[in-house]
Amino acid sequence: MTSTLLTGVAELATLDPDLDGVDRTDGLGLVRDAAVVVSDGQVQWLGPAATAPASDRKVDLGGRALVPAFVDSHTHLVFAGDRAAEFAARMTGTAYDGGGIANTVTATREATDDELRSLVAGRVAEMHAQGTGTVEIKSGYGLTVADEVRALRIAAEFTDEVTFLGGHVIPAEFADRRADYVELVTGPMLDTARESARWIDVFCEPASAHAFTGEESRHILEAGRDAGLLLRVHGNQLGQGPGVQLAVELGAASVDHCTHLAGTDVDALAAARETTTATLLPGVEFSTRSRYPDARALIDAGVSLALATDCNPGTCYSSSMPFVIALAVREMGMTPAEALRAATVGAATSLRRNDLGRVKVGGPALLTVLDAPSYLHLCYRPGVPIAALLNSSRLDGTSRLDQLGG
């Protein structure tokens, strides 16, 4: 197997502060003037360039920085249709309440398998081009047994991290029969979905008539757990509610949004830090003109944090982890190092994937190259496309890198 030596790495963020010889400041495990040897899709060696072993070929990154590929642990990529008008209305004061999800459900049901597949492929390619190496994908715009299972199967063509979200909203045809829909989700839909999904999620939001109450959410999550799925929760997005407490009680790996938290929610998340990650989605606050959660307070309380895009047609149609990192620093009080950690190893933890989010020997060669000398430029140059997954790099002179990575 051909080995490739990546040199000219001005700064390598391993995200492994326990490695010998790394700079332990901020927990990023930085190596300056670094090199990495990659072979067979794996990292074989990393360290100071001066001590790099011989390899079959050499690629000079020309003073760029390398970070672990971003892990986007919360997305809804399987959808058709467009809700730009809803976004425009929100910018002039209309509140988000989840009602627009019904429009996406209609458009998604009408799309052919090939149309949906090609829409997902385009969105995943967009993510790779911005440095994301792993993506979680939810269903949730089908809401019939056949349409949910179709979404899960298409998602599984792109990732192992597939999430069943039949409990996204109550579909229009069940508006007066909520309990019947919950029975469908926890019965026939779950029975089929479990074959393609690793995770189950629910939009627990009593503040929205479209979403699920605490009791309905508990029923859905417990049924999913009993069917062998791991748990994630959409919680506390639109107001304070039971989502966070339920996620912690049931040992969910992640509770996502966490926009409106009571002090008791913060305490519960801090106590559960080894089990439950709070995943913040600041692109949603940006796109719904909502207040941002206080990430600084969560970190100071000892909560385990992840960052993700929530890429979806309603609350955040952005696939950009660099955008999310920049928002987290500018709007939520995170340091650039904390934001990079949350977007890599933090999000990997929320997916129970210890193999992702770090650059380590024996780990996958999922590397993101920055057209910049330091990870700090992820926030310092907002909106500038400096990040790309190494194997989809469009940087000058790096076309040979197309053969690398996952």
Per CB under 6 A, residues contacting ligand NIG are: 76, 98, 100-101, 104, 203, 234, 237, 284, 310, 312-315
The burial class, CB within 10 Å (0-12 / 13-18 / 19+), for 222 is: middle
- Residue 205 binds to Fe ion (criterion: CB under 5 A): no
- Residue 285 binds to Fe ion (criterion: CB under 5 A): no
What lies within 8 Å, CB to CB, of 101 at 6+ separation is 141, 168, 169, 210, 314
What does the block give as tokens for 81?
Answer: 């249709």
- Residue 72 binds to Fe ion (criterion: CB under 5 A): no
Strands 30-39 and 42-48: antiparallel
Least CB distance to Fe ion at residue 340 (A): 22
Least CB distance to Fe ion at residue 233 (A): 10
DSSP secondary structure of 234-245: EESSSSS-SHHH
Q: Which stretch binds Fe ion (CB under 5 A): 47-55, 308-316, 363-371, 382-390?
A: 308-316
- Residue 310 binds to Fe ion (criterion: CB under 5 A): yes
68/313 with CB nearer ligand NIG: 313
Least CB distance to Fe ion at residue 256 (A): 6
CA distances from 201 to 229, 243, 314 (A): 10, 11, 17
Least CB distance to ligand NIG at residue 56 (A): 45
Least CB distance to ligand NIG at residue 207 (A): 11
- Residue 136 binds to Fe ion (criterion: CB under 5 A): no
Residue 249 backbone class (left: φ over 0; alpha: ψ -120 to 50; beta: rest): alpha
72/310 with CB nearer Fe ion: 310
Strands 305-307 and 277-280: parallel
Helices 263-271 & 243-250 angle (0-180, nearest 10): 20
285/310 with CB nearer Fe ion: 310
Least CB distance to Fe ion at residue 76 (A): 6
- Residue 86 binds to Fe ion (criterion: CB under 5 A): no
Q: CB of 357 within 8 A of CB of 345? A: yes
Q: Which stretch binds Fe ion (CB under 5 A): 20-28, 173-181, 208-216, 303-311?
A: 303-311
Least CB distance to ligand NIG at residue 16 (A): 31
The C-alpha atoms of residue 272 and residue 160 are separated, in whole angstroms, by 25
The C-alpha atoms of residue 77 and residue 97 are separated, in whole angstroms, by 20
39/240 with CB nearer ligand NIG: 240
Residue 313 binding result from Fe ion, ligand NIG, none, given CB thresholds of 5 to 8 Å by partner type:
ligand NIG
Q: Which of residues 319-338 bind Fe ion (CB under 5 A)?
A: none
Judged by the rule CB under 5 A, the positions of this chain that interact with Fe ion are 310
